Amino acid sequence: MPAFDRIDRISEEVRHNIDHIIREDLHDPRIGGTYSIVRAEVTRDLRYCEVRVSILEEDRRKDMMAALTHAAGFIRRELGHRLQLRKVPELRFIADDSIARSAQIASIIDS
């Protein structure tokens, strides 16, 4: 079995669990509104994970990214409990505006 299949499965599990942790376990008022965990990319050695977050409300983007960065340790610890990984990757949250751009393009096309 190729290593990339394993990494892809782990990345998807990480993405799914991070989304669940953020929605259910984090109670930071800066986190909310319309957002989506677009993708999680775990490195082959499982040391790092880039988590791409799309936030539709531009005025909330900076605060929410700060809150996620602040909560990264908590989220990482919860991932360790849920996924039973030998190494839990260090999380790096990155703002991704692809969904907001898509919505903007769709509104331009509709007009």
67-111 tens-digit pLDDT: 999 999 999 999 999 998 888 999 999 998 876 677 778 878 887
Identify each DSSP E strand in 10-109 by its residue range: 35-42, 48-55, 90-95
Task: Say if residue 4's pLDDT is above 70.
Answer: no
Inter-axis angle of helices 72-83 and 3-24, to 10 degrees?
Answer: 120
Q: How far apart are CA 111 and CA 101, in angstroms?
A: 16
C-alpha atoms less than 13 angstroms from C-alpha of 5 in its C-beta half-sphere: 2
**pLDDT confidence tier of residue 2, bands split at 50, 70 and 90:** low
Look at the chain and count its residues. Answer: 111
* Residue in the structure block whose two tokens are 């984090």: 26
**pLDDT confidence tier of residue 3, bands split at 50, 70 and 90:** low
Taking the chain, what is the end-to-end CA distance rounded to the nearest angstrom? Answer: 49
Q: What is the largest CA-CA distance in the chain?
A: 52
Q: What is the pLDDT of residues 17-69, one digit of tens each?
A: 999 999 999 999 998 888 899 999 999 999 999 999 998 888 889 999 999 99
